[in-house]
Chains A and B, each alone.
Chain A
Amino acid sequence: MLELAIGIILGSCALGAGIAMIAGIGPGIGEGNAVAKACEAIGRQPESKGSVTTTMLMGCAVAETTGLYALVIAILLIFVAPGRLVDLLMSTIR
């Protein structure tokens, strides 16, 4: 029974980490779209290249933070959460 409980904890943590990493897809698509539109804008007004690049860089960095949040949550779920939860389970049993 104890092995089953530990297995469920580990499996849930791994599943949670996988689900959290779905958020990592968003920034890639968002950045891709932003740069594609920037190409269009620069093609239309080449003199605005500097300001478009600056704005886009900042936007891309902001978008990327979302992926980073997901990454941190996933890593915590893989490395930190299982140990804590198993400890909690053990202390509950005792």
Chain B
Amino acid sequence: MMKIDVTVRRETKYIAVWVFLLSLFMQAVFLIIGKWDYTVLLGNVLGGAVAVLNFLLMGITVQKAVEKSEKDAAAMMKTSQSMRSLLLFITVILGIALPFFNGIATVVPMFFPRIAIAIRPFLDRKKALEEVKKDGE
């Protein structure tokens, strides 16, 4: 079995934690607006799981690609991106077509990794400031 790189594992963990937190927030929003039912939960689980899986697969591809030549790496990433897009396409179709998944609750979690990445610079800056404070003491 292939060993997953420490960097990929760490970043996937970060994304998974944020997807979970943002999913909780989304569930709360559905509860507040009074549109919550079991389909929202199932859709959220499906969308969130696929978002994290997509990121993990991308990480594994990057891990493999950096060990290859430039041309092979570029080709490998393009193929992987096509395959992952297909995975997302199938998931969104399932989320919209099947009655036990809420379409919106399936699609929205797929954008959570992007939000997690947008939040990251603020967290890093906070950590850096704390380290500077510690060094000062």
Q: Which residue of B has the minimal Cβ distance to A49?
A: B66
Question: What's the minimum C-beta distance from B82 to chain A, rounded to whole angstroms?
Answer: 6
Give the contacting residue for A53; candidates B7, B54, B92, B97; CB below 8 A: B7
- Quick check: A38 and B66 within 8 Å, CB to CB? yes
- Quick check: A32 and B92 within 8 Å, CB to CB? no
At the interface, yes or no: B100 with Cβ under 8 Å from chain A? no
Cβ proximity bits B20-60 to A, threshold 8 Å, 1 near / 0 not: 00000000000000000000000000000000001100110
Task: For A31, list chain B residues within 8 Å (CB).
Answer: 77-78, 81
- Quick check: A54 and B77 within 8 Å, CB to CB? no
Number of A positions contacting B (CB below 8 A): 35
Number of B positions contacting A (CB below 8 A): 41
> In terms of DSSP, what is the predominant structure of the interface of chain A?
helix
Cβ proximity bits A26-63 to B, threshold 8 Å, 1 near / 0 not: 01110111111111101000000110111011101110
At the interface, yes or no: A81 with Cβ under 8 Å from chain B? no
A71 to B50, CA, bound (A): 15
At the interface, yes or no: B130 with Cβ under 8 Å from chain A? no
Question: What's the minimum C-beta distance from B127 to chain A, rounded to whole angstroms?
Answer: 14
Task: For B69, list chain A residues within 8 Å (CB).
Answer: 39
Task: For A72, list chain B residues within 8 Å (CB).
Answer: 92, 107
Contacts from A to B (Cβ < 8 Å): 24, 27-29, 31-40, 42, 49-50, 52-54, 56-58, 60-62, 64-65, 67-68, 71-72, 75, 79-80
